[in-house]
Structure 1
């Protein structure tokens, strides 16, 4: 399948591994694949801009998904957990920024090969299906994002958060020169 990837799509996959490594993740998920497309800055990013999406804000949301730092304060409050109170208590007992320091200490930058999750593999397989559906001979970075979008899940939710799925899909499916 990777032999059908264009240079932009291959660059995005390489960047996905770099993003996972930078975020100290043990595997490459769909959020890293989408981050890879965004950091590569190819035609898919231009298409997202044309749809009205903010690539910088999108990157921020995808990083939250990747690191699990996008905690839902309301959901935790429903369980009786006040996230701000927990943070204040930790700061009082262990010093300012104790929770952040503890998280960083346990994580180490990963070297070598980082495996793809099943969800990331599914998104990449769906990028092939998107290319076939649009009768394209090669898989571009646009198809990669369409695969992430089609796969569903938090990375897909982040992609459509700014402008909605129809706008994102429409922009990504448009001819490269039209974006």
Structure 2
């Protein structure tokens, strides 16, 4: 690699440090402290490695790890959109596209194109790897909210129907993890930390 490439790569590495400052609505397990995007991405990467055996089909675990490590980098520019936001839709936006092009564009051309392609694949959610990556992305905050006696569900008055609807994506990547998650959701209603309206 040329020195010019190394300089670009170091600039990218310095830029993504900003991910540590992007606060999410969810809080760490059994905690009052909000999770940041870097912590979230690391946790998903570990979950993907540990839980990959539960995927509906055989997957490229390294590709899933890449997806979950980079999927929220665009939030450095675009900010975090709360999954239960009633105003801003939690889907790929023009802001996120511009962020992807700017931030990944700091890298040498070939690496930039690769990471943008991986990010796009995650966002589309159509490949087996993207489906499993999205399963991890939906499972982690579910586990956090249960550990925090309702967490953001209670804080933002999110009801069972919305939670169930958003979490069903888990089954696209893993039916067995979805069965576990579905029981957690139902148990959360029974225990009173999630309201049915």
Flag whether TM exceeds 0.5 (same fold). Answer: no
Higher relative contact order (CA 8 A, sep 6+): 1
TM-score (norm 2): 0.28
